[in-house]
Amino acid sequence: MNVTAQPLNVYIRGTRDYVQGSQILARTAELVGADDSALLVSAKFTQITERGVLAVFADADEGGAIEIGRAVFVTATGRQTVRFCEVAGDKAPPIEDVPRVTANLETDGKGTGSTTFAIAGTFESYLVAIIEFVKAVHAQRGQNVTDIWFTALMGARLPLHTSYPRTGTLRVTPKIERMVDGRLQTLSLVDTEGDGNAPSQFQICFSCVVGND
């Protein structure tokens, strides 16, 4: 599909008060291109939103909307950068939550962990699994960890239209940590083992607030 700026069909899922990054990336992937070689290579979110999201392709005019992130895809025609902008107005509509897709979480409380997963094998379901997993590992970094956000993904080669393993194991290894404005920012490596085409290792970034108690 040839588009320059497209509103995404995103929702507030369950009790969340924000639109999940996985939804934004998955809805954008549907617009990027249908070729089997299409990949997500990086994504970055600079703020969360509870409103609608506009995917702005190339140098299209975002109409003054606030940019909340961007992603880089590689397709048969080359690299494509997509900016995500918040749509002014009402909240995104609500939608029912879905069951957790990860289980058997093991973590050392310092950012290293593993989990098993059972997913539909799609791009979106894989994103949901890794974000759910890494978020859970961050939640175990202290007694009072709040505001845990997925902020970026880099060095990835995640196919948009190829099947992912339906079951397997995810592992996360912390590499860089920084305290910025009272928030812990982390960069970790994600490894995937599974029953099919497991993606290669990539970097994922989260931020959170770790309380003192």
Partner 1 sequence: MTREDALAAITKALTTTVGDIDGTISEDTNLVDDGMLDSLDSMTFLFELETDLGMKLEAIDETYEDFRVGSIVDIVVAATA
β-bridge pairing 94-95 and 113-118: unpaired
Told to check if 110 binds partner 1 by CB under 8 A, we report: no
The reply to whether 59 sits near partner 1 by the rule CB under 8 A is no
Distance (Å, whole) CA 103 – CA 101: 7
* Residue 44, strand partner residues: 70, 152
Q: Which of 34, 76, 88, 176 is in the footprint of partner 1 by CB under 8 A? A: 176
The half-sphere exposure of 130 on its side-chain side, counting CA atoms within 13 A, is 33
Structure tokens at 105: 């979480």
Smallest separation (angstroms) from partner 1 to the CB of 155: 9
- Give the Cα separation of 52 and 31 in Å (integer): 16
- Does the protein bind partner 1 through residue 81 (CB under 8 A)? no
Of 36, 157, 175, 211, the one binding partner 1 by CB under 8 A: 175
Q: Does 210 engage in binding with partner 1 (CB under 8 A)?
A: no
Residues 6+ positions from 162 with CB-CB distance below 8 Å:
36, 197
Minimum CB distance to partner 1 smaller for 25 or for 92? 25
Per-residue binding letters, 129-168, with partner 1 (x by CB under 8 A): ----------------------xx-x--------------
The tokens describing 126, both together, are 């894989």
**Which of residues 1 and 179 has its CB atom nearest to partner 1 in the complex?**
179
| CA gap 204, 185 in Å, rounded | 11
Contact with partner 1 (CB under 8 A): which of 40, 127, 130, 205? 205
Q: Which residues bind partner 1 (CB under 8 A)?
A: 44, 46, 151-152, 154, 175-180, 184-187, 203, 205
